[in-house]
Amino acid sequence: MAFLAALAFGPPIPPAAANSTWPYMISCGAGPNPVTQGQTTTISGTAEGVLLTIDWGQYAVDTNPDPNANTHVNWSGIGGIDMVGAWGTPEYLTFSATLDTTALSVGTHEIFIHAYGSNGQWAHPCGGSPPLSNGNPNSLVLQVDPPGTDNTAPQHGNATFYPDSLVGPGESLLLFQMTLDDTGDPGTATIAGAPNAPGYWVDACPMPAWPTNALVANDSAFDEEVEVVEAWIDTAGWMDNTYSVNAVGEDSLGNAPSACLSALFTVARAVTDTQAPLAYSGSVSPSTVPFGGGPVDLSASFDDTTTGNSNLVAAEWFVAPTDGSPPFSDGAGNAMSPLDGAWDSPSEGVVEWQNLGVGVSAWAVGTYTFYLHGRDNAGNWGSWSNPAEYVTATLTIGTPPPPIPNPPTFVILNVSVSGNDLLLSWTPPVNPAGLDHYNIYRAGAPTANGCPTGTRYLNVSAATTSLTEPGLAADANRYYYNVRSANVLDQEDSACAMVGKIAVDLGAGVSEISTPLIPSSAAPSDIFLPIWSAFYGVGAYDPTNGWRFYNKTMGGSLTSISNSMGLRVDLTTAARLPLVGRVPVNPISRAIAFAGTGWYFIGVPHLNPSGLTTASDFDANGLAGAWSRVLYYNRDPYDPWAQYDVANAGFRDLATVFGGGGYWIRITAAGTWTPPLI
């Protein structure tokens, strides 16, 4: 019966003032320091608790509210400002606050910091100048510097011409763009608009005069520290030559550079290149697809280095018999893209990538020939009468593909633990027409609907119905799996059944936990089998049945465990418990019903590691006005119960509840709580 008593009542709660030792300030600091007036700096302190936790911290500026080395008081109301930290942390804790220096004068300011322990004692303050004479380690003086003055011009860069820097036959317009960036200096000056908006000259930079050829903001407004500016330049009537665009811009404070940013472009409209680029290596992949398949990748290479040495500017494809037969109309085909992303060389590889490529799913069964040719910037298209200037690629579309697996029953998926390994197993669907293999997905987080996202993990043959993941049951990571049946074209069924594993680290003695997953087996002996050598027993409580227990050697009345239960677990040694099961996608599988008032010991069917906000996530998910208090046993020997009391703001150290924890909730009216999955 000693086991039952330990589970039912847990360790005793120590008196609040069991330890009278002061917390100790290890260090204090500020960063950045020096800081420019008007900017923020972070004030931080590190405290140590001996047999206690650090539960509060404060700082003060310019005046030490607590100058007496032996009397330590709360600074609230006498200049103290509260700080933020993971309060309740034993041993060492660093806590901080953000200080806005707008109201501080230029010069030095003493900063003082102290901490409060769970035993009700305040630490000796840290900081000031010189260091305080009570053994604390360092002084803290914040240097506030005058606001910076922006006296530098914006950076000029990224000068670019579109479509390229060569104006060829039949062309006259090109787009010039550049970037003006004023983020590297003090202040937040934007790029100046009218009357001194950015501008440019051609073949000159007569600064300090200001150009009359305007550059406009790419986003239509000069209102940011970084702007892309541009202008269309019309070269109609210009002689063939190389020209320079000399551009300049200033910030809204009038800071302008001493020189222009220059970029060169060439007008070469006189026809000196009369030969088309040569064509090589036409390819379609895959070259054979079933009816309804695709898309396919189409590629080729074009080279003008020996036929005029002009840059390539375009490539296109036609297909016979759909488009007829050569000769095709130049420029009327399907455009292709340069392999390297830019038409800037006499030699280019060109592609139609699969995701943007040739869709052939509606094409009839038969053989198709692609014809591909290119154009240089002198206007020469590859001739259909010259086999050296175009290439072909042949695609065969065969018989209809097998159907997408659409079985009357989907894969039945299960996950279990075998030693340190995770074992994924599934029952094949009944009569899965077209089944060729299974696709397995693995992720570190579940999805709200249980469907897989992202790239699949691996695939296995249709004869395989299990997968062993070595070592994954023993680590602290979370894993979530989907298995889908697929045909030879890798087209999948639509099943969204997901299973997973999380880990809960337990200390020796009593812990209060839950499983947020729907257990693969509800038997206590199966759930705790992975830590059987350390396991002693487990109990669950509800107002109707009271306590029910399962003991390792004697069994008991607790025969089935669900994800709605809180569990009081007793271990002989510390252990990591892997919890496995189905992800409770359906809200019904996460709903916890409260038939009447009283205390309930519940689980949290929620799988976001960040947890749920105690008050709002109870209220917003079915329990508004129906609960008054939540408790959590945190195993702290000096303050073992964290709690949230609706009626008393002084008892609200339980800010978050987590899937995997067991919680006591006081219900004041019947209702149902359905926490979100993620």
DSSP assignment of 34-77 equals SEETTSEEEEEEEEEEEEEEEEEEEEEESS-S---TT-----TT
pLDDT at 353 over 60: no
Q: Please answer whether residues 157 and 57 qualify as being in contact, where contact means their C-beta atoms are separated by less than 8 angstroms.
A: no
pLDDT at 527 over 60: yes
Angle at 224 between CA 222 and CA 226, to 5 degrees: 100
Return the H-helix or E-strand segment holding 202.
strand 199-202
Residue 598 φ/ψ, nearest 5 degrees: 130, -175
pLDDT at 71: 65
pLDDT at 356: 52
pLDDT at 88: 84
pLDDT at 513: 96
| Rg of the chain in Å (alpha carbons) | 36
Q: Please answer whether residues 15 and 68 qualify as being in contact, where contact means their C-beta atoms are separated by less than 8 angstroms.
A: no
The position carrying tokens 């009570």 is: 134
Alpha helix stretches (DSSP H) within 260-352: none
Q: What is the mean pLDDT of residues 349-353?
A: 69
Which residues, including other chains, have CB under 8 Å from residue 605's CB and lie 6 or more apart? Answer: 516, 563, 564, 584, 589, 590, 592, 659, 675, 677
Retrieve residue 599's tokens.
Answer: 């205390």
By CB atoms closer than 10 A (0-12, 13-18, 19+), residue 370 is buried
Q: What is the mean pLDDT of residues 552-571?
A: 94
Which residues, including other chains, have CB under 8 Å from residue 282's CB and lie 6 or more apart? Answer: 299, 300, 370, 372, 391, 392, 393
Separation CA 246–CA 208 (nearest Å): 13
Q: Please answer whether residues 508 and 430 qualify as being in contact, where contact means their C-beta atoms are separated by less than 8 angstroms.
A: no
Q: Please answer whether residues 296 and 195 qualify as being in contact, where contact means their C-beta atoms are separated by less than 8 angstroms.
A: no
Separation CA 170–CA 236 (nearest Å): 10
Separation CA 411–CA 465 (nearest Å): 10
Residue type, 514: S
Q: Which of 460, 457, 320, 486 is nearest to 390 (CA)?
A: 320
Separation CA 390–CA 320 (nearest Å): 14
The position carrying tokens 């030559």 is: 241
Residue type, 407: P
Residues present in the chain in total:
678
Q: Please answer whether residues 602 and 657 qualify as being in contact, where contact means their C-beta atoms are separated by less than 8 angstroms.
A: no
Cα dihedral sign, 23-26-32-36: positive
Per-residue DSSP letter, 358: B
Q: Under DSSP, is residue 535 helix (H, G, I), strand (E, B) or coil?
A: strand
Which residues, including other chains, have CB under 8 Å from residue 588's CB and lie 6 or more apart? Answer: none
pLDDT band, residue 16 (cuts 50/70/90): very low
Per-residue pLDDT tens digits for 30-47:
887 877 787 788 999 988
Q: Find the largest Cα–Cα distance for the chain.
A: 104
- DSSP conformation letters of 204-249: ---TTS--SEE-EETTS---SSEEEEEEEEE-TTPPSEEEEEEEE-
Residue 300 φ/ψ, nearest 5 degrees: -165, 175
Q: What is the mean pLDDT of residues 538-564?
A: 93
What dihedral do alpha carbons 452, 457, 461, 463 form, nearest 10°? -70
Retrieve residue 157's tokens.
Answer: 């860069």
Per-residue pLDDT tens digits for 636-673:
877 788 999 998 888 899 999 999 999 999 999 999 99
Separation CA 378–CA 273 (nearest Å): 6
Q: Is the omega angle on the peptide bond into residue 321 within 30 degrees of 0, that is, cis?
A: yes
Separation CA 621–CA 617 (nearest Å): 6
Indicate the average pLDDT of the chain.
Answer: 87
Per-residue pLDDT tens digits for 447-465:
999 999 877 889 999 999 9
Separation CA 510–CA 333 (nearest Å): 75
pLDDT at 340: 83
Separation CA 529–CA 241 (nearest Å): 83
Per-residue DSSP letter, 296: B
Per-residue pLDDT tens digits for 207-264:
889 998 999 999 999 989 899 999 999 999 998 887 999 999 998 888 888 899 998 8
499-506 vs 458-461, strand pairing mode: unpaired
Q: Which of 198, 174, 341, 346 is nearest to 265 (CA)?
A: 174
pLDDT band, residue 355 (cuts 50/70/90): very low
pLDDT at 185 over 80: no
Q: Can you list the domains of the chain with their CATH numbers? A: 24-145 (2.60.40.10), 155-267 (2.60.40), 278-397 (2.60.40.10), 412-497 (2.60.40.10), 503-678 (no CATH)
